[in-house]
A and B are shown apart, each in its own frame.
Chain A
Amino acid sequence: MKKNNVLVVQGKLDDAERLKKESNYLRGSITKDLKNNITGGFTGDNFLLIRFHGMYQQDDRDIRKERIKQKLEPRHAMMLRCRLPGGIITTKQWLEIDKFAIKHTIYGSIRLTNRQTFQLHGILKNNVKLAHKTLNKVGLDSLATANDVNRNVLCTNNPVESFLHKEVWTWAKKISEHLLPKTRAYAEIWLDQKKIETTDVEPILSDVYLPRKFKTTIVIPPYNDVDIHANDMNFIAISKNNKLIGFNVLIGGGLSIEHNNKLTFPRIATELGFINLDSVLKVAESIVTIQRDWGNRTNRKNAKTKYTLERVGLENFKKEIEKRSGITFKPTYDYKFTHRGDKFGWIQGFDKKWHLTLFIENGRILNSSTSKIKNGILEIAKIHTGDFRITANQNLIIANVTENCKEKINCLAVKYGLINKITKQRQNSMACVSFPTCPLAMAEAERFLPNFITKIEVLLNKYNIKNDYIIIRVSGCPNGCARALLAEVGLIGKALGRYNLYIGGNKIGTRIPRMYSENITEKEILIILEDLIKQWSLEKRKKEGFGDFTIRKKIVVPVLDSARDFW
């Protein structure tokens, strides 16, 4: 990438900028579209505007072609993504969501996501308002969970260090709220709240919002469950004697690319330094406003913070943060990551409360003919006095269980098959949603993963390393929702049945893998992986992960400076 120090890229603005500008603070003509009875979708700009309100227009892609022949439009339905800072949801909220999913969605499922929230797929346009009202009734919303805003804020789930977690989680909530759009469009359109005379102002985001999506995390070492390097802005909690004293700040991570477009690249986040607690909101706001002002609004493919940072340089960016926030970064505190996955089963926190982490394959909570996990979680929600937590690995924690409730909840979990023996390999695998609902999907992901992992398990068994695991992630497209570009083995969809294979990430998620083979089938992938797994089983050093092994053995050259060496 050519270094170009200009702070603001001049040129013809991307059409998305016109759209935001003309939207009148995200209103567009959504209300008019809700009355349009001949289509189940939104038209024109509104198709993208509803994303600011936390919804994506999708359709069932399995039946798209047959519907063209049937002279029917695609079966449009919305996916709604809730805002849930740090993934904490009360049982009362859960009960409402569960009911809504059954009664008013096509698929009847709740999908946990790796950004610690849930999505409801298949809401027909007629039910959209009801969805928002239902959320609102229990104190939830879906504002700003998509498009060019600060999305749902992630926060490490560490129920053991309960006091620290609570404090850190409070910061996640504060940051989320501080950076929310201030427009009343959401309340007016979805909750039927009256228009008030005052004009809207967006002091932080501006009337054109951010140039591109913006993702924030807070992490409590040694866990890196939230995958900080996939995010624009990250706060690493630093504590002394179990007391939070401040955060290391990192910016410029992000994994989204476009196939073969060498102007795009994934990037891990860069350290800026340490800040005290009283500077958190000021620094967060400064980073967001700098990206707002300097981010490239002429080309969306080049608009994320990672590109801004590469263009203006770290020092300029850092100086500007200090200028805008009036604080000076202190040197980064030492920290160490050792884990990314969740710890399953029961654990007890410092405050003596119990926590049960459940493995939810693909994060999909849905009853089927063989499994009634949705009912199981519903039954637990009915009697549980604590809360639920969604992890950044798409799993669910039944949190804050008292000693005397533990047995009852355990019984329910066993009865509904929520506690099964799952291999480490399966526990450490992840896929995005992809087909049939995601409009971007190029290849299967969620529906591909379970069987694929079974085949990997067979290989690990065959080479006598069944207690080892490889972090495997499958993304249906290079947008990268499954964070495949921070996996040891990443698959990114190219076309139905075909993937690009990336190898060489590490266990804790600080190294981007490199493309090993392009546009290959599952069969070809398995042939390659069998060969590598065999080598790994025979020649690996003690505790050497698969990704590290492939680097040491020079099977792939490590990606060290992705802006320059990824392609």
Chain B
Amino acid sequence: MTNKLFHDQTLPITKEQLSNLNELIKDFSHNQIAWISGYFWGLLHNKSVIYNEKNIIKNFSVTIISASQTGNARTIAKNLQQDLTLNKIENKLINASDYNFKKISKEKYLIIITSTQGEGEPPEEAFSLYEFIMSKKAPKMSNTNFSVFGLGDSSYAHFSKAGKDFNNRLLELGGIKILDCVNADIDYEEKEKKWRKSILEIFCNKKLILEEKNSIVVHKKTEKKIYNKENPLLATLINKQKITGRFSEKDIKHIEIDINNSGLTYTPGDSLGIWYENDEKIIEEILYLCKLNKNLQILLKNKKITLFDALKKNFELTVNTPNIVKYFANLSRNKFLLRISESVEKLKKYSDSYPIIEMLKSYPFSFKVDQLINMLRPLKPRFYSISSSQLENENEVHITVSTLRYNVNYNNYTGGASGYLSDRIKEDDKIKIFVEKNNNFRLPIDHNLPIIMIGPGTGIAPFRAFIQHRINEKAKGKNWLFFGNPKFTEDFLYQTEWQYYTKLGFINKIDLAWSRDQKEKIYVQNKIQEKSKKIWKWIQKGAHIYICGNAEKMAKDVEKVLLEDVISKNGNMNIEFSKKFLNKMRISRRYQRDIY
């Protein structure tokens, strides 16, 4: 592929020429560029290129989606692809499981070939696509010409149901049917041949109205609004999905938020600020323990609101602090608490072990409203590294949330924000968000540079954004991912996406550390140690190194290995120099961290 050519730095033109060229063609479509490449080739070979219809590469491409259980649908899809290719019709064939269905409405010509299994269900690989298309989230399909080929077995009650469903739903969504849906029985071959012939006739016959309808793309001029902490965007949560397996000890959620028409923009590396709301059960319980009425009106920032609402949106209720314990000790005059208040360590230990609610349970006290309000800290937004790129998901922002769950005195608690995101907020609910720029965690400006991404646990989030971004920018630089978590089968976050990126060649190297899959614990730093020679080579080639995740342990351990094994050993320098080396990388923005 062309990727390779660029890596080798054997470009026959200068960087400047290249960037001029890029500038020139930046507004051209894919097809236009393809045509130009042929045009130049013709110039070079002294062949007069006549601008006529015959030479024009047909200005459309057909997308074939195959959804197969036993392989028959796949075979038919391949046959059709062959037909199209032989007739020089641009096309791409993609397995339903690999298909980015959110962009389905952008397809101009769409062919779906699907079998039906069991009680009228689509094949497993088409499950997500099917659910999406059938759901209310499905987009308008009025720019899409389509045809569906369904495979079934007439001895079942729901003959070829998946095919029929796709066909009917696409029609419902405004799609333009170019050929009636075919539902073929187990002896499908005759029908298949006939159908392929018809499809081919349609695409080859220029008389048919296949030219793009003059679809006027209305660029809604959305004002670029400024959203920030004080002025967050009220957005809608559109998808919340657990992405750890059912036998995982971790509960990690993938969350998608709709920002369509908001003007909110972000860059990979940025974080998403979230104003969360406290758990109503916790509020009720605290009010009960403090013997306060939830409907009491209080004045907050010159606004009158109920105590209940204030506790829900304005105060931190989950995390205890030494100051809170001390305040409460003085207020309640509790002997035990007063005693530990004398020692900073004991205070810290107590506040770390007992959330506010447990403290109140242990020492019930009748609060006055002001006393409670004064004891609590104001609620602060929580930040999550954004795990999507706007080039891939124009109207959405994604985050990856690990749910903090813990148990004190046989009571289960969740983290304030993670509990809100993971358990309480539902799809279609509103959520207050804003983007927190992070200019210290940015992809290299030069697309050709390789990057090394180190992100165990939810530290993987910004790297999903990075890769989406680089793919859409057609960046030629290589990508290497280090990821770790407890178990391969349960905790490989975004596994199928990484597999797909690997298959396409966008992830060039991937090293995985599963701490609990064998007797001895293995972490990302061990993997980095193993690969230190290769990492050093990448550094020599200008690689940028990124670390995201746990600050206290992981980031320190990784840095240690980078210094001692990667740089010191391979670069033949002592630790002192190795530190200077890494510092230089840091200053030139080649070593960036997003740690927490």
Contacts and interface: CB of A to CB of B under 8 A. Distances in A.
Q: Do A and B come from one complex?
A: yes
Interface of A: 37-40, 63-73, 75, 124, 126, 259-261, 442, 494-498, 518-519
A275 to B, nearest CB: 41
A40 B245 CA distance: 14
Given A37-B511, A496-B119, A519-B155, A72 B128 contact: no
Contacts of A260: 153, 155, 186
B246 interface: yes
Interface string B506-518: 0000111000011
B348 interface: no
A261 B187 CA distance: 9
* Residue from A37, A66, A124, A498 whose CB has the most chain B CB atoms within 10 Å: A37
A71 B496 contact: yes
A519 B156 contact: yes
A68 B118 contact: no
B152 to A, nearest CB: 11
Contacts of B128: 68-69
Contact of A72 (B117, B153, B245): B245
26 contacts: A38-B498, A63-B246, A65-B127, A67-B245, A68-B496, A69-B128, A69-B241, A70-B241, A70-B243, A70-B245, A71-B497, A72-B489, A72-B490, A72-B492, A72-B496, A73-B499, A124-B488, A126-B518, A260-B155, A260-B186, A261-B186, A495-B118, A496-B119, A497-B119, A519-B156, A519-B157
A321 to B, nearest CB: 35
Interface of B: 97, 117-119, 124-125, 127-128, 153, 155-157, 186, 241-246, 254, 488-490, 492-499, 502, 510-512, 517-518
A71 B495 contact: yes
Contacts of A75: 245, 489
B contact face: mostly helix, strand, loop, or mixed = mixed
A66 B246 contact: yes
A75 B488 CA distance: 10
A214 B244 CA distance: 42
* Residue from A63, A495, A497 whose CB has the most chain B CB atoms within 10 Å: A495
Given A70-B245, A72-B243, A72-B495, A494 B155 contact: yes
A280 B547 CA distance: 68
A346 B207 CA distance: 84
A494 B489 contact: no
A547 B394 CA distance: 66
Given A38-B512, A40-B488, A72-B489, 20 more contacts: A37-B510, A37-B511, A38-B510, A39-B499, A64-B124, A66-B246, A68-B125, A70-B244, A71-B493, A71-B496, A71-B497, A72-B243, A72-B492, A75-B245, A126-B518, A259-B153, A260-B153, A495-B118, A519-B155, A519-B157
A522 B226 CA distance: 63
Contacts of A261: 186
A124 B517 CA distance: 10
A69 B243 CA distance: 8
A126 B117 CA distance: 32
Contacts of A64: 124
Contacts, number: 80
Given A71-B254, A73-B495, A75-B489, A126 B517 contact: yes
Given A71-B496, A72-B496, A38 B502 contact: yes
Given A63-B246, A67-B245, A495-B118, A518 B155 contact: yes
Contacts of A39: 499
A249 to B, nearest CB: 36
Nearest to A36: B502
Contacts of B118: 442, 495-496
A477 to B, nearest CB: 11
A39 to B, nearest CB: 6
A126 B516 CA distance: 13
* Residue from B97, B124, B494, B496 whose CB has the most chain A CB atoms within 10 Å: B496
Given A124-B489, A442-B118, A68 B97 contact: yes
B246 A259 contact: no
B241 A40 contact: no
Contacts of A259: 153, 155, 186
A46 to B, nearest CB: 16
A519 B128 CA distance: 28
Contact of A71 (B243, B246, B490): B243
B531 to A, nearest CB: 12
A68 B494 CA distance: 10
Contact of B512 (A37, A71, A73, A442): A37
A63 B496 contact: no
Nearest to B518: A126
B505 to A, nearest CB: 13
A371 B488 CA distance: 31
Contacts of A65: 124, 127
A498 B517 CA distance: 39
A69 B153 CA distance: 27
A495 B119 contact: yes
Nearest to A125: B488
Nearest to B490: A72
Contacts of A72: 243, 245, 489-490, 492, 495-496
Given A71-B243, A71-B497, A40 B489 contact: yes
Contacts of A73: 495-496, 499
A419 B517 CA distance: 38
Contacts of B243: 70-72
Nearest to B489: A75
B12 to A, nearest CB: 36
A495 B246 CA distance: 25
Nearest to B97: A68
Contacts of A38: 492, 495, 498-499, 502, 510, 512
A23 to B, nearest CB: 19
Contacts of B119: 495-498
Contacts of B517: 126
A442 B244 CA distance: 27
A59 to B, nearest CB: 10
A65 B241 CA distance: 13
A229 B497 CA distance: 48
Contacts of A67: 245
Nearest to B186: A260
Contacts of A495: 117-119, 156
